[in-house]
Structure 1
Amino acid sequence: MLLLPTHTVTVLSRPAPTRDRQNNRVVEWSTAARTSYQGRVEPLSSSETVQQGDQVITTLDCFLPPSAVVTEYDRAEVDGVTYEVDGKPDVYTGHGPLKLLAHQRLTLRRVTG
């Protein structure tokens, strides 16, 4: 729920892919449009794998206003750390007095290592 926003979440909208010299599709994230929202971010999980080198996978639950423009192809920055949007965002709308609790829930994921 978006009752108490805890963070500024900056959504990086995925730019259109271009082609490099080898004709591979490349997304240049430095040109992404950036939009900031007040939201709530909560840690969901963190795990480590050691199969092909050490990797840490961090997952966050992120709650944004229902009007936030974000897709499953975008990225988000929280406290200066960039995460990928994992899956399609869920929009929860309320009716009547519960309309104040309307929000958008997305899962943010970061793999390091």
Structure 2
Amino acid sequence: MVLLFAPHAVTVVTKPTGVNPRGSSEADWTGAERVTVQGQVEPAASSENRDARDQVASTFVVRLPPGTAVSFKDRLEWNGMTLEVTGDPLPWSGLAPLDPIQLTASRLRG
């Protein structure tokens, strides 16, 4: 199923969890699984923190096709940027099979 207006190729990056030498579980992004879907990415907010150093935080609203496997632990790749999924991806309700999954993602620089 595709979104009615989905002009962006968005890659969902899911990290595998391995075990470090001490026996603790550890995320390893080098072996991450990547799945690209058509979605919609909109800028939502941007702010600058100059207290300790120049730092910019940008937030995006992302809509993905129904049934897309994405969780709060994942990352997204879009438009040359890597975005962290923040919060739970939640399905819209009301349009039945056309309901997209909506989430918030952020990028921190600096």
Q: Is the 8 A contact 1:66 1:93 kept in 2?
A: no
Does the residue aligned with 1:5 lie in a helix, a strand or coil? coil
Equivalent pairs: percent with the same residue?
39
Aligned length: 108
How far apart, CA to CA, are the structure 1 residues paired with 2:45 and 2:18? 31
Unaligned runs of 5+ in 1: none
Q: What corresponds to 1:87 in structure 2?
A: 87
Whether 1:51 aligns to 2:48 is no
Q: What corresponds to 1:6 in structure 2?
A: 7
Q: Normalising by the residue count of structure 1, what TM-score does the alignment of the two structures yield?
A: 0.85
How far apart, CA to CA, are the structure 1 residues paired with 2:93 and 2:69? 15
How far apart, CA to CA, are the structure 2 residues paired with 1:110 and 1:103? 22
Does the residue aligned with 2:87 lie in a helix, a strand or coil? coil
| Larger strand proportion of the pair | 2
Unaligned runs of 5+ in 2: none
Q: What corresponds to 1:78 in structure 2?
A: 78
Shift of 1:4: 0.8
How far apart, CA to CA, are the structure 2 residues paired with 1:57 and 1:10? 20
Q: What corresponds to 2:66 in structure 1?
A: 66
Whether 1:107 aligns to 2:104 is yes
Q: Normalising by the residue count of structure 2, what TM-score does the alignment of the two structures yield?
A: 0.88
RMSD: 1.8
Shift of 1:80: 1.8
Q: Is the 8 A contact 2:74 2:84 kept in 1?
A: yes
